[in-house]
Amino acid sequence: MEILISVLSTLANILVAGVVLYTSTKFLGCSIPYVYALPAYQAFGLAFCLVSVYNVVLYPMLLDPLRVFPRVVAPDIRVLLPVTDAPRGESALRWVKQHPSADAIRISTPVGSVLTAVSPRALRDALATNQNDYEKPLSGRNFLARTLGWGLILSEGATHDRQRKHLTSSFRIQNIRGLHELMLSKTRIMMQEMEKQCTLTGKCEMNSWGSKVTLDIIGNSLMYKDFDALRTEHQPVNEAFEELTAVSPDTTIHYLLSFVLPGFILSRLPTATNRLVDRNSQVIINACAEGLDAAIADNKVVQGHGSKQQRGSEILQSILSDSQTTRTEIIDQMRTFLGAGHETTATSIAWATHILTLPDYQHYQTRLRAELDATGFHTAISDPQVLEKLPWLNAICEETLRLYPPVTTTGRIAIRDTTIAGARVPKGTLVVLFPWAVNRNPRYWGGLDSERFVPERWLDTRPDGSVRLNKHGGAESNFCELTFLHGNRGCIGRDFSKAELRVILASFFGQFEVARLPGDDLVAEPVGSLTIKPKGGLFVKLRRVRDG
């Protein structure tokens, strides 16, 4: 819709200018020598040229309040979209390198200009200091809502504040630690099934197993429902998410149309993408509704009357403790956590495996196992507080999340006049954020090493030679990393996701030596519409080095 409004505004300006030129020259041509009336086609052609010069030259160079920021030209609008430009944000990273001292960069496209914040100062303004001056663009929210529902991620204003207030307590570290045994038991099942597959076929694929284990964890954590995706060959909810997050030319076209057409029109077009989205979304909605009904029937939860004595999911308890929510809103919230809560960590599992099986980084597997051995393997993986303190395990997790943020593009639109890095940002300005580019910015992440896997950046060496984890990775500010965003729109499940990743990587690499298949070119192209995973899958072979 934002692009549609911009296009309509431009057409209106051309129409007005054309009418003025046509009528004025016709009037003046009757009374002033050597002034001739313009035919309508010439008047509107000249109006088009004048409006174009104003939009492309005069306004950006002389009048735009954002002209204090450097300008780059993106000849293709697709470099801004979360379904193209693989790896997403790669173009933005190139612009960041071209303008290393910039706080923000103006991006000129065929349909107008947008702003991307790149420095900690600018990102702090956009995501924290002036966070209430922005909303997520409606077009992108309409597109994602059909998969995730209108839950916490896509809600805005007072609705978002109310939802977040009720949900925050569910993600306290004590509650997350309480889910450790569930995470560990599901990881053990995953490893058993992967080992069986490797014995039969000589390989296993990490994208699919990562999605299955995280779906089983979030299902039990959220909705009292064990999808048993790890032991089910065709699990409907897992397959629904796989189809919804896959990228195709049709998906890209559909996303582009979401900027031009209202959601209620776009969703009714007789397209293959709409049929795919409707079919798979209904599968997820039905699963959430069944889980909700089962929980209520079993007296585990009572809407609007949650209590500490009730058993079951803290997340679902928190959703239901909000007496203002309707059944539809509850199911939407469940869809949000079901989708975002398993696909993001599944992505990180795949990328960590990709990195640790590359020749330059395989030695980190050995280092991780040595750390677990020094602590006592079974002691380490059975105690979440021990895992939280293991330096090398956490450094590997942090560096994976920095290099491969699951969501690599997000947008904000100014709902009132505001500021970024001291410059006025007019109402209606679209601000696109690229975690991929910010997380790899050489200015903040070690110059030439900014795009290399260097877990050591997250470790400090003590005088006795031992290492301890730091929280900054050597960067000057936590706003130098956008993996989980910041402010009131920061990821509420950040600690949950990190806990999952620690348990799975410690258990998996603690018991197996993992390697790529012979002939693998070791290239993994990031693709995906909701999150990014290695294109075509990531196939590995396993060799057991320890009994679980």
Q: pLDDT by residue (tens digit) across 388-410?
A: 999 999 999 999 999 999 988 89
Q: How far apart are CA 346 and CA 499, in angstroms?
A: 13
Task: Give whole-number Cα distances, 479 to 84, 429, 466, in Å.
Answer: 25, 21, 28
Which of 17-31, 140-154, 322-336, 424-438 is predicted least confidently?
A: 17-31
**CB distance 289 to 332 below 8 Å:** no
Closest CA to 249 of 388, 84, 414, 77: 84
**Would you say residue 425 has pLDDT above 60?**
yes
Task: Using pLDDT thresholds of 50, 70 and 90, give the confidence band for residue 218.
Answer: very high
What would the mean pLDDT of 270-292 be, rounded to a whole number?
92
166 or 311: which leads in pLDDT: 166
What pLDDT, on a 0 to 100 scale, did the predictor assign at position 38? 66
Task: Give whole-number Cα distances, 358 to 34, 353, 361, 503, 521, in Å.
Answer: 76, 9, 5, 22, 10
Q: How far apart are CA 142 and CA 319, in angstroms?
A: 22
Architecture of domain 144-544 in this structure: Orthogonal Bundle (1.10)
Task: Using pLDDT thresholds of 50, 70 and 90, give the confidence band for residue 311.
Answer: very low
Q: How far apart are CA 104 and CA 384, in angstroms?
A: 40
Q: How far apart are CA 116 and CA 106, in angstroms?
A: 7
Which of 10-19, 90-99, 339-348, 407-416 is predicted least confidently?
A: 10-19
Percent of the chain with pLDDT over 90: 60
Most confidently predicted of 84-88, 268-272, 541-545: 541-545
Please, where in the chain does CATH 1.10.630.10 lie? 144-544
Q: How far apart are CA 209 and CA 229, in angstroms?
A: 9
Q: How far apart are CA 295 and CA 285, in angstroms?
A: 15
**CB distance 82 to 409 below 8 Å:** yes
Angle, helices 363-375 vs 391-403, to 10°: value is 140
- Long-range contacts (CB closer than 8 Å, 24 or more residues apart) made by 250-258: 251/83, 251/529, 252/78, 252/81, 252/83, 252/84, 254/143, 255/81, 255/82, 255/83, 255/143, 255/529, 256/77, 256/78, 256/81, 258/139, 258/140, 258/142, 258/143
Average pLDDT over the chain reads 87
**Would you say residue 108 has pLDDT above 70?**
yes
pTM of the model: 0.88
Q: pLDDT by residue (tens digit) across 450-496?
A: 999 999 999 999 998 889 999 999 999 999 999 999 999 999 999 99
What pLDDT, on a 0 to 100 scale, did the predictor assign at position 34? 45
What pLDDT, on a 0 to 100 scale, did the predictor assign at position 306? 45
Q: How far apart are CA 31 and CA 37, in angstroms?
A: 11
Start-to-end C-alpha separation, the chain = 53
The DSSP symbol for 54 reads: I
Retrieve residue 123's tokens: 């990102």
Q: pLDDT by residue (tens digit) across 26-76?
A: 665 555 444 456 677 677 787 788 777 777 677 777 778 888 999 988 765
Q: How far apart are CA 346 and CA 270, in angstroms?
A: 32
Q: Is 388 exposed, middle or buried (0-12, 13-18, 19+ CB in 10 A)?
A: middle
E-strand spans in 133-270? 134-135, 204-205
